[in-house]
Amino acid sequence: ILGYWVGAGESGAGKSALMMKIAKCNAEQGRRVTVASLEMDKVMLYLRMAMEDPLCAGLELTEQNIKNVNKMSNIRKATDKLRKLPISVIEGVRNIFSIDRLARHIAIERGSELLCFDYIQLGETAPIDKDVVRVSTVSRILQSLTAPRLVDGYKGQPVLALSQYNGEGGKARSKGGQAGNMDLAWSSQIAKDADGILHLNIDSDGEKESIINVRCGKQRNYKSGWEVPITFDKLRQTFYTQASRQ
């Protein structure tokens, strides 16, 4: 990932799971990653990432399984492995200006090479800001984090942020159409700021698996419009392509 990328999609398309998959894969390759989730706390982030570990094969992420001593033992072993990865988590903060300061501090102190942010629409600014202004401000600050800042030695880092659709995007999908870049909830500014936009749409939805169509809505200086079908394993909170399963 280079620059500021946005992952958008309908509910249940696996946006958060894909973000955590990307964060985990980068960390496993030795890159330092920062995750700022405004939707989940650190415990839930690690639990969701742990579910694709072979130790957790066949388990569902339910309160009953977490309380089961034997099953929890395997989940704990899987999360312990994850805690050894170079992943820093920003939690309990929604104000985008505070997240900006924390993300820059972590990058300077620990050398973070990727920031994952979940969701743009949940970021907070001044209490008087209307939603359009608030979301536009969050997007602009996330974009600014990709650039270096000489005054404090901040080197910049790629940003992957998640976005929800607005009502029109949802209507387009319900009619069998495709949501576009201007259907990102509350702000067309996101589409202008982003270097790349990925749309995750459910093509078929099963009880345990969904077929997700990943479409590139924008790729600055490169061709967009390409599509890749992937399988979202709801049980293990992970993704497969046809080639990776063979």
Chain segment 7-30, per-residue pLDDT in tens: 999 888 999 999 999 999 999 999
User: How big is the chain by its Cα radius of gyration, in Å?
Assistant: 18
Q: Which residues of the chain have pLDDT under 50?
A: 169, 174-175, 246
Q: Dig out the tokens for 144 from the structure.
A: 């600014």
CB 17 within 8 A of CB 237: yes
Nearest Cα neighbor of 167 from 157, 152, 182, 154 is 182
Cα dist from 141 to 85, 101, 161, whole Å? 27, 11, 11
- Sheet containing 87-90: give its strands across: 87-90, 33-37, 114-118, 159-163, 4-9, 196-205, 209-219, 227-233, 238-240
Q: Is the pTM of this model over 0.85?
A: yes
pLDDT at 175: 45
Cross-strand bridge partners of residue 23: none
CB 36 within 8 A of CB 117: yes
pLDDT at 66: 64
Find the largest Cα–Cα distance for the chain.
Answer: 53
pLDDT at 185: 83
pLDDT at 161: 97
pLDDT at 58: 72
pLDDT at 60: 72
